[in-house]
Amino acid sequence: MRHGEACTQIHEDAQRPLTELGKLEAKVMAKWLKSTNIELDAIFVSPYLRAQQTAQTLYDQLKLSIPLQTLDLLTPAGKAGEVHDYLDGMISLERYENVLLVSHMPLVSYLLAELSIEKSAPIFATAAIAQIDYNKQLMAGHLINHVCPDDFV
């Protein structure tokens, strides 16, 4: 998932908060996630404020009690291969089935290419979510959904 729309008036990138629209986008996507009946095992989130706020909104809206873990690898300049390696380790160690990553462009596009068999790297609108049916043995999966708040207007 990419974070919701962020304020552009703040120059320190890591400290940019969500706008009111960004908060609404996160709520819309929480509603969509709820409709999928997917039971999340963990949420990994960038340390940047806008990603933290997006993840917290989802967490609150979905009334979750799962781990919400900050992961420094999920910044805009993060490396998709390193995130992939970390996730494979966590999935095997913790036996996670359904995890959500909340990050930034361009990393979310690179991650989708890294994690999917299709190697697709689309542009993510703010608060967009890509869903991958991940095969632990192949360490890759098929892209099965790519949705954004505008899909529900």
Predicted TM-score (pTM) of the model is 0.96
Bridge partners of 129, per DSSP, are 147
d(CA 59, CA 53): 10
Q: 76: helix, coil or strand?
A: coil
Give exposure, 24-61, as e/b (b: 16+ Cβ within 10 Å).
bbbbbbbebbeeeeeebbbbbbbebbbbbbbbbbbbeb
For the stretch 36-58, pLDDT in tens is 999 999 999 999 999 999 999 99
pLDDT tens digits, 70-106: 999 999 999 999 999 999 998 888 888 899 999 999 9
